[in-house]
Amino acid sequence: MKESLKTEWNKIEQQLWNLSDYLYEHPEIGDQEFESSKLLANLLKDHGFTIEMGIVNRPTAFRAEYKSDKPGPTIAYLAEYDALPGVGHGCGHNLIGTMSVGAGILISKVINQIGGNVVVLGTPAEETNGAKVPMSEQGIFNAIDVAMILHPSDQSFVSGESLAMDAIQFAYTGKSAHAAASPEKGINALDSVIQLFNGVNALRQHVTPDVRIHGIIAEGGKAANVVPDYAVAQFYVRAKEREYLNDVVEKVKAIANGAALMTGASLEISNYELSYDNMITNQQLSDIFTANLQAVSDLPINEAKQGYGSIDMGNVSHVVPAIHPYISLNKLGLVAHTQEFADQTITEDGHTALSSGALALAGAGYDVLTDENLLKSIQAEFKNK
């Protein structure tokens, strides 16, 4: 019956290619993917899925489910479809969304025979304020046994790691004054930000090599002859594991408070984006996916690449067995978040990746649904990690 997945794919392949190309031509940034989410959800609805829009209080998020008449596990495919300002789908989310939707449709065609349920989750704003975070926190994955997503890249890589990340804003309030005539009457909020950066730079020597701390001055004053009474710094703080990241963040916050004491400014600390946890790949699920990708693609699959970025799929991997592998766009050296990357998604190689990816995701889902011992092993590994 697994062989029938290819037959079913042939029926919808051109439609999925066209949909992916349309998303490329009409990119929508995070939490504004109104047309993109509607198109993907409506296609699933056309294939018998029950649709719930606007889950976790995010208008462009959705949950689509196809239930069989037989008991069994529930597998989930996660769809992304947010674009980047200026470069559109420079991270290939037009492919990610259509691959996951395609895989869900394929499983729906055989699930009445094999049992279980398939869910496709529309997950907005991965690039900025990822909806997978509230989904993980609000129980969306409670009834799901495994979760999968597939990301395009210049080459194929097995699922690996990502860094946990906090996005922290430090807003200092001082007191304005004439910078030349009466500087002694002012409190320089920008000086606090500068001392914060100096302190963070000193901290770098005393953290593990995986830590990444990088920031900007979002506000630093309006005129050189006015003591800045308000200044803002925004930082991303990352580390390999959430527990250690929490320790580093506390040190950065202590530096920020020290900078306020040095100048006399007041400080407000907040998170300006949602926090991402580190990705924990379920190795057995990853191996199953890799075997299925090898069965449908002749392109080489590399070992997991060193991950210094952060993804909201990391939060998912802390609540359910999950994978986040990469599929080749067959253009070595292709750099993500560029127009060249976006353009590659609508080439023949991009369409091939979409087809191979959807089939591999569906094949891995089929294996989980039909092999009770495999699922038990996946769940045992998850509990141990």
Tokens linked to 312:
């909201």
DSSP string, 294-362: HHH--S-EEPPPP--S--THHHHHTTS-EE--EEE-S-TTPPSSSHHHHHHTTSHHHHHHHHHHHHHHH
Below-70 pLDDT ranges, the chain: none
What integer pLDDT is reported at residue 308 of this predicted model?
78
User: In angstroms, what CA-CA distances link 78 with 38, 60, 181, 239?
Assistant: 15, 14, 60, 24
pLDDT score recorded for residue 306: 77
Q: What is the pLDDT of residue 305?
A: 84
Coil, helix or strand for 199?
helix
Residue 88 in 3-state DSSP? Answer: strand
Its pTM stands at 0.92
The predicted pLDDT at position 292 comes to 98
Cα–Cα distances in angstroms (integers) from residue 67 to residues 71, 75, 109, 345, in the given order: 9, 11, 11, 32
Q: Tell me the C-alpha to C-alpha distance, in Å, between residue 115 and each of 63, 71, 276, 364, 379.
A: 20, 5, 34, 15, 19
Length of the chain: 385
| pLDDT score, position 307 | 75
pLDDT of amino acid 245? 98
pLDDT of res. 1: 83
Q: What is the pLDDT of residues 199-229, one digit of tens each?
A: 999 999 999 999 999 999 999 999 999 999 9
Residue ranges of domains in the chain, CATH in brackets: 4-162+278-384 (3.40.630.10), 164-271 (3.30.70.360)
